[in-house]
Amino acid sequence: MLLAITGFIMIFLIIYLLLQTKANPTAIFVIVPIVCAVVCGFDFAQISAFMKKGVTTTMPVAVLFIFSIVYFSIMSEVGLFDPLVNFLVRRAGSNVVLVTVATGCIATIAHLDGALAATLLVTIPAMLPLYKKLHIRPVVLCVIIGAAMSIMNLLPWGGPVARVGVVLNADVNALWHTLIPLQIAGVFMVLGFSAFMGVLEKRRGAGLHPTGKAAMLDEDASSARQETDEEAESLKRHGWYWWFNLLLTAAVIGMLCFTHIQLYAAFMIGLSLALVVNFPDPKMQAKRIKAHAGAALGVPMILLASGVFLGVLTGTKMMDAMAHTLVAIIPGFLGPYFHIIMGIFAVPIGMMLGTSPYFFGLLPLAIGVGQQYGISPENMSHAMLVGKNFAVLVTPHAATTFLCCGLAGVSIKQLIKFCTPWLWALSIISLILALILGIVTI
């Protein structure tokens, strides 16, 4: 019981401190888990082993972040995305709704490979310049991508469906065939949600000629932009450079989607070639790397620190104790609706536990309890799978969450506060759709 209580306190404290910005996330993810582990009676040798194992799991994503951020930052400043942005601006004009719907389409297509990081790395760098030009908040870009990924994650090669298949000992393709009607309905839901977010942003004053709050923010930043316009223009690369950068980026994305090469290796290769070709002068190469060092190093530090949290959470067995407690607190009279309850609260629970502990730790326990009330394992799995997917972008200790923050230039506090309510609401709507379609039954 001590482990469970301490685990819940640790997670709630970390989320509270992140939202209140009481300290840097790096310090939060290191100090709080260590203190909690000590409270539970673990010595420093054990805690060190937990830390080592946890950091090992986040290291590849931290390296990926360093090289991908610098790569896409350089691609942006040399003008690779300018034709796309200018084309979309011409086509959309001041139609903010069209831009947000296009974001939903791009994110949906980009997530066909089922890789969260690749979807973020493709969609955000391409769309963020347009969002800035039209004065649309970057968190809107994040929440639309989060919604699209949540629906597309129902593909058989997506991580959550594969994990459910393992737990049920079922064929993953057969499981996906059951979910296809929900996925089709979900795509339309995402596009509708994207349009809705566009309407909200337009009411805030977003557009080519902003009004209200967006206009005031634009006026405040105008002088700063004027000072940097000349320097930014000097970094643009036209002619054959543009074609080289386009082919290089396509090759990097191709490696992400169609090969088994490590994600960070693809960006290491891409960044090296981009620097050498676009900036032959070694001093200029060092200057461009230094210019993006803040963004490229800050978040990886947080990712490595979050490995301490994950290592303590799993190594101390807090996760197992928390999962048992969550299942045990459901009152008996709600037993027949246990799967619906788990589906409704899947987002906050998923935010606390993370993907693998949720499916491999909590789901088997929930299935066992549900069977006592006549709920089939498939029914329980479907309900918990549909809801949990929408927590994928707002899990405060997930690497992709910080990757999204870094690419979009938003803080973890902004991301969680803005995106969580919307994504939780979408998860409940998806659960209702699953009930209507007969995928989840009462």
Residues 152 and 218 in one domain: yes
Q: How much is the pLDDT for 217?
A: 46
Domain identity same for 312 and 213:
no
Which pLDDT belongs to residue 262? 78
Neighbours of 87 (CB within 10 A): 11
Q: What does the block give as tokens for 425?
A: 């609401």
Residue 195 belongs to some domain of the structure: yes
- The pLDDT, as a whole number, for residue 208 is 65
Helices vs strands, H then E, count in the chain: 22, 0
Q: What does the DSSP 8-state code read for residue 440? A: S
Which of 238, 258, 286 delimits the end of a domain? 238
248, part of any domain: no
Q: Are residues 27 and 172 in the same domain?
A: no
* Domain membership flag for residue 398: yes
Q: Is 46 exposed, middle or buried (0-12, 13-18, 19+ CB in 10 A)?
A: middle
Single-letter code of the amino acid located at 276? V
In a domain, 406, yes or no: yes
- 110 and 169 share a domain? yes
Report the amino acid identity of residue 424: W
| Residue-level pLDDT, tens digit, the chain, 442 residues | 788 889 888 878 877 787 676 677 788 889 999 999 999 999 999 999 999 988 887 787 778 778 877 887 788 788 887 787 677 666 766 688 988 998 888 888 877 656 677 778 778 888 888 888 888 999 999 999 999 998 988 877 666 887 788 777 777 778 888 888 999 999 999 999 999 999 999 888 877 665 555 555 444 444 444 445 566 677 788 788 889 998 998 898 788 767 777 778 888 999 999 999 999 989 888 888 888 777 677 767 877 887 888 788 878 888 778 777 767 777 767 778 889 999 999 999 888 877 767 876 678 778 877 887 888 989 999 999 988 889 888 888 777 888 888 888 888 888 999 999 999 999 999 999 999 999 999 8
Same domain, 128 and 171: yes
Instruction: Tell me: do 315 and 429 sit in the same domain.
Output: yes
Length of the chain: 442
Pairwise CA distance, residues 263 & 158, whole Å: 16
For residue 25, give the amino acid letter: P
Answer for the pair 237, 79: CB distance below 8 angstroms, yes or no: yes
Q: Are residues 184 and 307 in the same domain?
A: no
Helix (H, G, I), strand (E, B) or coil at 237: coil
Whether residue 49 is found in the same domain as residue 118: no
Q: Are 222 and 136 members of one domain? A: yes
What is the C-alpha end-to-end distance of the chain, expressed in Å?
32
Q: Are residues 98 and 189 in the same domain?
A: yes
In a domain, 257, yes or no: no
Q: Residue 17 falls within a domain, yes or no?
A: yes
Give a yes or no: residue 271 inside a domain: no
Domain span holding position 106: 69-238
CA atoms within 13 A on the CB side of 76: 20
Q: What is the CA radius of gyration of the chain?
A: 23
Q: Is residue 175 part of a domain?
A: yes
The verdict on 332 and 396 lying in the same domain is yes
* Residues with Cβ within 8 Å of residue 17, at least 6 apart in sequence: 23, 28, 32
419 with 356, same domain: the answer is: yes
| DSSP-based three-state secondary structure for 40 | coil
Report in angstroms the alpha-carbon separations of 149 from 152, 233, 281. Answer: 5, 35, 40
pLDDT at 231 (0 to 100): 66
Question: Given 238, 265, 287, which residue is the final one in a domain?
Answer: 238
Q: How many domains does the chain have?
A: 2
Distance CA 297, CA 306 (A): 14
Domain end, chosen from 192, 211, 238, is at: 238
Residues 6+ apart with CB under 8 A from 226: none
In 3D space, the residue among 385, 365, 355 whose CA is nearest the CA of residue 323 turns out to be: 365
Q: Would you say the C-alpha torsion 85, 87, 91, 94 has a positive or negative sign?
A: positive
Where do we find the tokens 């059951």? 178
CA distance 48 to 3: 18
Query: What single-letter amino acid sits at 368?
Result: G
